[in-house]
Structure 1
Amino acid sequence: MFTKKILPIAALTGLAMVPQAQAADQTQDNRWYVAPFATFINSGGDRHARDGWGGGVGVGKIIDQHFNVELKGFYQGFGGDNGPWDLAGGSADVQYYLFRDKFSPYVVAGLGGMNTCASANCGIGFIGEAGVGATYEVNDNLLIRSDVRYRYNNNFNAQVQPGTDEFHDMTVNLGVVIPFGDKPKYAAKSDTRMAPPPIVAASKPDCSTLDSDADGVNDCLDKCPGTIKGATVDPKGCAVRLILKGQHFKYDSAELSLNAKELLDGVAKDLIAFPQKNEIQVQGHASSEGSDSYNMKLSQRRAHSVVEYLKLKGVSNKLSAKGYGETQPIADNATEAGKSENRRVELIWIE
């Protein structure tokens, strides 16, 4: 029974070892937190016991973009053939987050000790846990958290249950995480490049003859000066679309290349210097190579990487990521040149 439950957990744990794209220059959230939780325990057949309930509390710290460490204590109780069971213990946990967002999945592993009593028979033993879970951020100081874990327990010849000292249980935990203090905000690095000298005109020129940002709309009509180079604009000179082409990601990965980061640094600089209040949707697109479902997931991950990088650079626009896979080609996928055109990321300004 427990083998069937362990296999999905082991598979998801393996997925967590796949390298994730890491954004640079992040203002890191490293707050302490407290995490009370309730527990449903599915006791293994070796206990000859029923399922039960319990709860506990953890105290932890956010280490970096991927890791939390946490100390927790718990109590669980349930009935059985040889009387009531009482489990009380604690563990040290390490949580690995695949990414940090409003919804953040993670894998967890923990080691600790537990005092087990079945009726009048008690013994102290070792526990090891592994599982998967996720958090959902309600606000900066409140997250909902749930995980499911496999637990191995060895009571070292205490004979709590005649015939065995090894037990295998499954626990389902539901609780909240309450971080202490304010959540750090993303901050852009100061740009140390020298700004170009201002243009000093001998006399004030006619604005209808000028197009300072070279967007095709003269300065008299341009309501959005400082348009990002290469962007498509509306009649008022405000950006509505920007297509990013070229080798922006490592092969078969959502990790941004150095070329992409340099390009996005310029985009972020312009958005900060000349902010538009519109929401921006970052769209990921792929060529026809690979399966439809794989390309859809890869394009979503790539769009998400661009959103996270722009946030880290201090862009204040509301940003969202959406993958379209190979559903919206702009060139013929029958040629290599066409496939290269279709592998792109677009920034779409939404009214």
Structure 2
Amino acid sequence: MLKKSLLIIVSLAGMGFLSLTQAADHPQDNRWYVAPFGSFVRTGGDRNASDGWGGGMGIGKMLDKHFNVELKGFYEEFSGANGPWSLTGGTADLQYYFIRDKFSPYAVIGAGGMNSCASANCGASVIGEAGAGFTYELHDNFLLRSDVRYRYNNNLNANVQPGTEQFHDMTVNVGFVIPFGDKPKPAPRPEPVVAAAPEPVRDCSTQDADADGVNDCLDRCPGTIKGSKVDNSGCPIRLVLKGQHFQYNSAELTLNAKTILDGVAKSLVTYPQKNDIEVQGHTSSEGKDSYNMKLSQRRAQSVVDYLKMKGVTNRLIAKGYGETQPIADNSTEEGRSENRRVELIWIE
């Protein structure tokens, strides 16, 4: 009867190998653990003994998603025709898990040694075990475990039991597993990537957002300062600031000039074209030439200083030209007003 039961165990283990299916992907768990257990021993007929009880402790390590290795020690005792039996031994086990999940069935084989005593007769022996079992996870660090094993025992001529040195027993082990450390967690699943809707195609051929005379399809310098002269690519090359920009006979900027220069600075900071910029000061022909030259230099420098204070990072070069480059007739007040100007020249 015992051998028939053991054949059923081995057959079930073999079927488990054939029907192996892997659970959902889990990260590899390679923790160490301890595994105390209690045992029921179903003795074979060769011992002329009754069934008994025992217990022990295993120390093991999870190697990968299928294999554990474990060192196990045990003590068992039962009564027999030759007096009480006691078995003290240990095995090195290899466990194969068909799946790693909350419920995890496995097959196990082991080999080791044992000291067998029947009454006063004791002797060393070798043992081999094979069986099947399962674990059931109650917590990341606490699992129930049970297995059923066939055990072959050879007492190596120790004459513990007259008539035979080979015994065939079955053990049923029930206990728990306590892994050390945190259980590896699955990586979070990435969020599905949703393709962004394509941006609508904008017809720029007739649009000129900065009103510089160059349509947006060709404009390489968007946000051109209002009133500036641009090249064919829409990049500024000259800006003329006209009007009353300075206090009379002074380089001090007027409130109107500061308002205009605030707009210039904002455009240069928002749409930086990193050209050097020459800031030119010009005057009318009133007054002496030498005085007008110095006044125009100071006025150009005032504009440079103000733009830098407003955050413009271009290299700014102040240069006064006095009355040497008029753009209108100095004989009329209207012409002289045109000649009193500041120009910003973008240098290639």
Q: What TM-score, normalized to structure 1?
A: 0.54
Q: Report the equivalent of 2:148.
A: 148
Per the alignment, do residues 135 and 65 of structure 1 end up closer, same or farther by CA in structure 2, a change over 3 Å counting?
A: same
Structure 1: state its 5+ residue gaps.
204-351
C-alpha distance in 2 between matches for 1:190 and 1:59:
37
Cα deviation, 1:297-319, whole Å, max 9, x if unaligned, reads xxxxxxxxxxxxxxxxxxxxxxx
The reply to whether residue 68 of structure 1 matches residue 72 of structure 2 is: no
Q: List aligned pairs for 1:1-351, cutoff 5 A.
A: 1-18=1-18, 20-22=20-22, 26-187=26-187, 196=195, 199-200=198-199
Aligned match of 2:231 = none
Moved over 6 A (4+): none
1:27 aligned partner, one-letter code: P
How has the CA–CA distance of structure 1 residues 25 and 49 changed in structure 2, closer, same or farther, with 3 Å as cutoff? closer
The structure, 1 or 2, with the larger RCO (C-alpha pairs under 8 Å, 6+ apart) is 1
Tell whether the 8 Å contact from 1:16 to 1:96 is kept in structure 2 after alignment: no
- Deviation string for 1:309-350 (max 9, x for gaps)? xxxxxxxxxxxxxxxxxxxxxxxxxxxxxxxxxxxxxxxxxx
CA drift of 1:196 comes to 4.9
Q: What is the aligned-residue RMSD (CA, Å)?
A: 2.4
**Partner letter of residue 31 of structure 1?**
R
1:129 offset after TM fit, Å? 0.6
Deviation of 1:126 after TM superposition, in Å, equals 0.7
What is the deviation of 1:27?
Answer: 1.6
| Contact 1:149–1:171 (8 Å) recurs in 2 | yes
Distance (Å, rounded) in 1 between the aligned partners of 2:101 and 2:85: 39
Q: Distance in 2 between matches of 1:202 and 1:159?
A: 97
Aligned residues: 202
Show CA shifts across 1:138-179 (max 9, x none): 110000001111100001100000010000111010000000
> Do 1:153 and 1:166's aligned partners in 2 also have CA atoms closer than 8 Å?
yes
Please give the per-residue CA displacement for 1:176-230, whole angstroms capped at 9, x wherever unaligned: 0000011100115879x99856644699xxxxxxxxxxxxxxxxxxxxxxxxxxx
1:328 alignment partner in structure 2: none
The AA in structure 2 aligned to 1:140 is: D
CA separation in 2, counterparts of 1:94 and 1:62?
10
Q: Which residue in 2 is equivalent to 1:208? A: none
Unaligned runs of 5+ residues in structure 2 are 203-348
CA contact (8 A) 2:131 2:147 kept: yes
Instruction: Please tell me the residue identity of whatever aligns with 2:187.
Output: A
Q: Distance in 2 between matches of 1:4 and 1:197?
A: 66
SS class of match (2:18): coil
| Preserved contact between residue 91 and residue 113 of structure 1 (Cα < 8 Å) | yes
Which of structures 1 and 2 has the bigger CA Rg? 2
CA distance in 2, matches of 1:67, 1:99: 10
1:16 positional shift = 2.8
